[in-house]
């Protein structure tokens, strides 16, 4: 398989075409942004951690019946993935109140929610990823009812599997964001699962082990990315 031209550059990843039209290569960068690109920086080694960790998580989920875009890790930063058509929605699940949920509803960070919640945001940087509900998604033809039902069920199943997995390595899964894509008529997971896209708190101390350390200038950013990878690969 041969890497060809770059077809997309996001804030944290680049995507390349390959000589096989069913495959892309994803390349993870150390670039970090927050607050819709307003805050910019570098987290040294982040691309390596996010690539490795996402691939390990995709393999774990695949073992439990969740189809993902993962095909093969090429090197530290690059992975061959299925060439999906991304559904332009960010799907957010929350187990514990934090971040924008705490702010919007005036709920203290760390409050355990009585059930996990799901939110959809439209993936559109110019509009700052506005929240969007089922009816609005259907009205705009972004996904069908059937697709939304599949996405919702898959996302909650992913939450259950991730929560159990992280609990075993002493980490609370507070919330996370995923993106899904269409591939051969099926909806599959097509995103990273990493400290960029999840909130992880140490189960004993509640120490933040994720990108909130960068967003909130808490220090020790590189260290917690390495720590998450170390816990997973131990």
Position 177 contacts ligand TMP (CB under 6 A): yes
Regarding 43 and contact with ligand TMP (CB under 6 A), the answer is: no
Phi, psi (degrees; rounded to nearest 5) at 140 = -90, 0
Q: Is residue 101 at the binding interface for ligand TMP, with CB under 6 A as the rule?
A: yes
Rounded to 10 deg, the angle between the 221-233 and 46-63 helix axes is: 30
Given 6, 59, 100, 136, the residue binding ligand TMP (CB under 6 A): 100
Interstrand relation of 78-82 and 112-122 (parallel, antiparallel or unpaired) = unpaired
Is 13 a residue that touches ligand TMP (CB under 6 A)?
Answer: no
Contact segment (CB under 6 A) with ligand TMP among 18-26, 60-68, 153-161, 171-179 equals: 171-179
Number of C-beta neighbours around residue 129 at 10 A: 17
Q: At what angle do helices 46-63 and 145-168 cross, to 10 degrees?
A: 110
116 binds ligand TMP (CB under 6 A): no
Pick the closer one to ligand TMP by CB: 81 or 98: 98
**With respect to ligand TMP, which residue has the nearer C-beta, 23 or 33?**
33
Q: Is the dihedral of CA 138, 124, 33, 3 positive or negative?
A: positive
Contact between 99 and ligand TMP (CB under 6 A)?
yes
**By the rule CB under 6 A, 27 interacts with ligand TMP:** no
92 binds ligand TMP (CB under 6 A): yes
Closest residue to ligand TMP: CB criterion = 99
- The site that binds ligand TMP (CB under 6 A) totals a number of residues, namely 12
Q: Which residues have CB under 8 Å from 20's CB, separation 6+?
A: 1
Q: Kindly tell me which of 23 and 97 has the beta carbon lying closer to ligand TMP.
A: 97
179 touches ligand TMP by CB under 6 A? no
In angstroms, what CA-CA distances link 163 with 96, 123, 159?
12, 25, 6
**Burial class of residue 217, CB neighbours in 10 A (0-12, 13-18, 19+):** exposed
The token pair that represents 107 in the structure block: 């709920």
Query: Does 208 participate in binding ligand TMP (rule CB under 6 A)?
Result: no
Cα separation, 45 vs 123, whole angstroms: 26
175 belongs to the binding site for ligand TMP (CB under 6 A): yes
C-beta of 175 vs 227, nearer to ligand TMP = 175
Q: Which residues bind ligand TMP (CB under 6 A)?
A: 92, 98-101, 129, 175-177, 197-199
């Amino acid at each position: 398989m041969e890497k060809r031209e770059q077809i997309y550059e996001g804030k944290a990843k680049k995507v390349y075409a390959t000589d096989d039209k069913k495959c892309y290569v994803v390349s993870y960068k150390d670039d970090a942004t927050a607050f819709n690109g307003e805050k910019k920086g570098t987290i040294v080694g982040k691309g390596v951690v996010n690539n490795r960790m996402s691939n390990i998580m995709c393999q774990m989920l695949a073992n439990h019946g969740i189809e993902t875009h993962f095909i093969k890790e090429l090197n530290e930063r690059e992975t061959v993935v299925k060439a999906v058509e991304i559904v332009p929605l960010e799907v957010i699940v929350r187990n514990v109140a934090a971040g924008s949920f705490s702010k919007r509803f005036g709920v203290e960070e760390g409050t355990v929610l009585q059930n996990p919640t799901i939110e959809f945001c439209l993936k559109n940087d110019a509009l700052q990823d506005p929240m969007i509900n089922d009816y609005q998604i259907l009205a705009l033809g972004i996904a069908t009812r059937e697709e939304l039902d599949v996405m919702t069920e898959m996302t909650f199943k992913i939450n259950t599997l991730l929560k159990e997995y992280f609990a075993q390595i002493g980490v609370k899964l507070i919330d996370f964001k995923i993106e899904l894509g269409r591939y051969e008529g099926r909806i599959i997971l097509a995103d990273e699962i990493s400290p960029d896209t999840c909130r992880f708190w140490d189960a004993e101390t509640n120490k933040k082990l994720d990108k909130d350390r960068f967003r909130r200038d808490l220090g020790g950013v590189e260290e917690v990315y390495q720590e998450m990878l170390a816990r997973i690969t131990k």
